[in-house]
Structure 1
Amino acid sequence: MFSLTRYGACLAAALLLALAGPVTADAPEGYPFVAFDEGLRKAAEQDRYVFMYFGRYGCGWCDKTNQESFSDPDLKALYTDNYVLVYVDAESGRRMTLPGGERITEMELGARMNVYATPVFGFLMPDGETIFTVPGFKTADEFRDYHRFVSGGHYREQGLFEYLASESR
């Protein structure tokens, strides 16, 4: 039999969750990350590459990446100086307007880009065309390798893994 006390506790918990509001994922602290639609506008205006980070609340690998990799001050300077930084909450229903006028949610963007787990990192051309994406925890050194691949224009002639293999010799 369902007790009134248990019902009251369930009702109180539901009320507290409703009052707390939606929980959102956090981008790394101290970085000037912006929303996807704003980032694409800035990238086009500034003719800069986009670094995109798909994360979500409660993602342990996102937290590990934020704490271990994005805490590197040299990496922060490198990415802040060279990219428009975009953060996408992979579970968000926040609506945005793409440059062509289409309105979609951040979650729909993730599905379009085959993001089914987090974190996922992507590098985009200033017009929003994807250069490459990589999933999972990445070290600061890996992010530096990705920067060299993109900034050096190596993506025009070879794939990421081919480039990384040739760099390790």
Structure 2
Amino acid sequence: MKKILGIVMLGLMVSLPLKAQKEAITWYSFEEVIDKVEESPKMILVDVYTDWCGWCKKMDRETFTDKKVISYVNENFYAVKLNAEDAKKKFEFRGKEYSEEEMARAMRVRSYPNFVIMDATMENITQLPGYREAKPFVESLMALLENFKH
């Protein structure tokens, strides 16, 4: 009996840390998504932010930690974080080199946070500017995907 109890306790101790790990949105770099979308086409959600943006931090803290948001974004999009003021990090896109700052400008982002939605061919479809709570954020993404399918 002690042996069985020991095995059960060991099983619980091993599985508890796995459950304690929080689910999170899988964030990719822009260059990672360029490769991923070729392998397996999916729409792209680009979170354009700045380090000083309070609403961006609130999105990270509250909206992006919501289980429904995490599940919906991970299932339907490749999610990208793009710092609109990072001029150092460079990547190539369609034969041209961009910094994250230059890409944000090329996407015509002028306010933060801003969510640029791209299709699987990496063409910009629309922007969803401003802070959004979890439920309205998921609803906007659902409506967008529904409209895009038609």
TM-score of Structure 1 vs Structure 2, range by shorter chain = 0.7 to 0.9
Deviations 1:135-155 (A, max 9, x none): 110111222122222332x14
2:142 paired with 1:124: no
Q: Kindly indicate whether residue 108 of structure 2 is the aligned counterpart of residue 110 of structure 1.
A: no
Aligned to 2:78: 84
2:62 is the alignment partner of 1:68: yes
Unaligned runs of 5+ in 2: 1-22
Q: What residue ranges of structure 1 are gaps of 5+ in the alignment?
A: 1-28, 158-169
Q: Scaled by the length of structure 1, what TM-score is found? A: 0.69
Partner of 1:36: 30
Which is richer in strand?
2
Query: Residue in 2 aligned with 1:149?
Result: 143
Structure 1, residues 46-99: CA drift from partner, whole Å, max 9, x if none?
A: 11011110011121010111122112112101111111111101111111111x
Question: Aligned residue for 1:140?
Answer: 134
TM-score calculated relative to the size of structure 2: 0.77
Counterpart contact for 1:40–1:127, Cα < 8 Å: no
Aligned length: 127
Identity level (%): 24
Higher relative contact order (CA 8 A, sep 6+): 2
Partner of 2:19: none
TM superposition shift of 1:108: 0.6
